[in-house]
Amino acid sequence: MKVLANDGIAASGVKALEKAGFEVDLTTVAQDQLVDYLNSNEIDVLLVRSATKVRKDIIDNCNSLKIIGRGGVGMDNIDVEYAKQKGIDVINTPAASSHSVAELVFAHLFGLARFLHDANRNMPLDGDSKFKQLKKTYAKGIELRGKTLGIIGFGRIGQATAKVALGLGMKVIAFDPFLDAVNLELDFFDHQTVFFNINTITKEEVLQQADFISLHVPAQNEYVISTKEFELMKDGAFIVNAARGGVIDEVALVKAIENGKIAGAALDVFENEPTPEIQLLMNSSISLTPHIGAATSEAQDRIGTELAQQIIEILT
């Protein structure tokens, strides 16, 4: 059986598949040549990340296809229901990257709390000529310990983020319209385990009480955070969006930063990917990353292994 990993797959996945007798093709085939390639090579499994689109044209015209696999969470690039109707299995790896995204949130939060994002921009320019001035500029940092983290969307990544926060000594509050309470299991290096119960509260309460807010909701039709929500927040709050572009109103965010309501923000995802607004990129109060939440070796390894396990289970 043949697997085409069109957007790549970690070595762990290749190894597991080959061990089970699969042939793994790591060619990156251009979107408009995919139908021909899948047919002429009689591909059984097509694996993608977010780059390759798997629409009706592929589903209708590639008879050898038995599984479409997405390494990661969102399946916006696959016509999932249509594929299932046609008898093709569609698989993904929803849990594999949760901790990686949670750690990126904290990379941003620690950075914002001590102005690292801005210091890293200015030290190369002025670090030798204006050292004392920069030292003063970045002197009013704060600690995360003891502060309140408000999580909006308390699913897999929201919960992984909560665990990191609890380990740091933060207070965690959360809003999720579909969950009343969550019992978190915190695992430590020596196999000790602590259970921590968190009852969700209203969105308004989270916005009013949190020092730091982190968004972990799925893609939405409407903004989850816009002008009204910024107004409810504490003065000087910080906000992170590592969920999906379009969850936070970017124009309202820039305004809230400019009028001093929000002290800083971090964005890993943008309304206009892959060309984010220049007003965001140039804003010295925003810590920026180019959608790398899941991009760690560990997450990619887990994604590869989980995809391989599911393929082997279905086809052997």
Ligand X SMILES: NC(=O)c1ccc[n+]([C@@H]2O[C@H](COP(=O)([O-])OP(=O)(O)OC[C@H]3O[C@@H](n4cnc5c(N)ncnc54)[C@H](O)[C@@H]3O)[C@@H](O)[C@H]2O)c1
Interface positions with ligand X (CB under 6 A): 73-74, 94, 97-98, 101, 152-158, 175-179, 216-220, 224, 242-244, 268-269, 291, 293-294
User: 105, 161 in Cβ contact below 8 A?
Assistant: yes
Q: How far is the CB of 79 from ligand X (least distance, A)?
A: 18
Nearer to ligand X, 4 or 280 (CB): 280
* Residue the block writes with tokens 């391989």: 308
Nearest to 100 by CA among 311, 314, 288, 268: 268
Angstrom distance (rounded) from CA 73 to CA 63? 26
Nearer to ligand X, 224 or 233 (CB): 224
Q: How far is the CB of 228 from ligand X (least distance, A)?
A: 14
Nearer to ligand X, 144 or 243 (CB): 243
Nearest to 48 by CA among 86, 13, 87: 13
Sign of CA dihedral 25, 30, 35, 41: negative
Q: How far is the CB of 153 from ligand X (least distance, A)?
A: 3
Residues 6+ apart with CB under 8 A from 299: 96, 97, 99, 100
Nearer to ligand X, 152 or 263 (CB): 152
Q: How far is the CB of 203 from ligand X (least distance, A)?
A: 7
User: 216, 157 in Cβ contact below 8 A?
Assistant: yes
Nearer to ligand X, 32 or 180 (CB): 180
Nearest to 28 by CA among 47, 1, 54, 55: 47
Sign of CA dihedral 252, 253, 257, 261: positive
Q: How far is the CB of 185 from ligand X (least distance, A)?
A: 16
User: 116, 110 in Cβ contact below 8 A?
Assistant: yes
Nearer to ligand X, 108 or 147 (CB): 108
Nearer to ligand X, 4 or 90 (CB): 90
Position of minimal CB gap to ligand X: 155
Angstrom distance (rounded) from CA 294 to CA 49? 11
The number of beta carbons lying within 10 Å of the beta carbon of residue 232 is 15
Centroid of chain to Cα 211: 21
DSSP of 269-315? S-TTTTS--HHHHT-TTEEE-SS-TT-SHHHHHHHHHHHHHHHHHHH
Q: How far is the CB of 104 from ligand X (least distance, A)?
A: 7
**3 state SS of 264:** strand
Residues 6+ apart with CB under 8 A from 254: 279, 280, 283
* Residue the block writes with tokens 């950075």: 111
Q: How far is the CB of 226 from ligand X (least distance, A)?
A: 12
Hey, which residues are catalytic here? 244, 273, 291
